[in-house]
Amino acid sequence: MRSRITRRYLAGLLDGEGYIGILPADKDNRFYFKPVIKIVMTSPEAIKEIHLLLGGYIHIRTRHNPLHKDAYCWQVSTFVQVDKILDYVHKYLIVKKSQADVLREFLNTKENNCYKIGKGNGIKGNGLFLKPEVFAKRQRLYSLMKTLNHRGNSHPQRLNEEAPLKITDEAIVRASGKPEEISRNVNPLVT
């Protein structure tokens, strides 16, 4: 049977109901960062089909308020699984394309950047010693991802001074100062 979960459909779910991020973790006094992609919905059908097609795992978030439904969460959090999902949907992402690009850069820090246990002067994380420059890059990418995933109003200290906010026809856009950048960020259908 052919899956109903197409690349475009999954990208739309990720844009609307999903999370693409980098999470800090601490296990056995080892601090490290891990990639994560997840989708949370109250309807289990799509979550189950995604799991069958792409793997990962599912868990249920039980709500204690009787007015709320339980939520079904599908998640992948290994370098290999996250890379597979990004390959599957990246082309079709719209809202979370920036997060996907940062996560791809994070995944690229894995190759040939670890020492075996007991070797070198690296920072211990996830059972291996990372080169200090790799750990520093992962910290920067985590910080950037945290800013991209920030909910609510933007804080002035988080805005890049090189890209000030400009008001254009009731739309607020972050502009680089280049006309083509402004037009790309404004919906031409809104007048």
Residue span of the structural domain in which 136 resides: 7-147+164-185
Predicted confidence (pLDDT) per residue in 127-183, tens digit: 567 788 888 999 999 999 999 998 877 554 544 444 444 444 434 444 444 445 444
Does residue 155 form part of some domain? no
Residues 111-126 pLDDT 10s = 665 655 444 445 555 5
Could you tell me if 145 and 102 are in contact, meaning their C-beta atoms sit under 8 angstroms apart? yes
Residue 34 is inside which H or E element, if any? strand 30-41
CATH number at residue 77: 3.10.28.10
Q: Output the CA torsion sign for 140, 145, 151, 157.
A: positive
Q: Which residue has the higher pLDDT, 125 or 32?
A: 32
Contact 109, 138 (CB under 8 A): yes
Q: Which residues pair with 123 in a beta bridge?
A: 130
Strands lying side by side in the sheet with 57-61: 18-27, 30-41, 71-76, 57-61
In a domain, 89, yes or no: yes
CB–CB of 99/89 below 8 Å?
Answer: no
Handedness of CA 143, 145, 149, 155 (dihedral sign): positive
> What's the total number of domains in the chain?
1
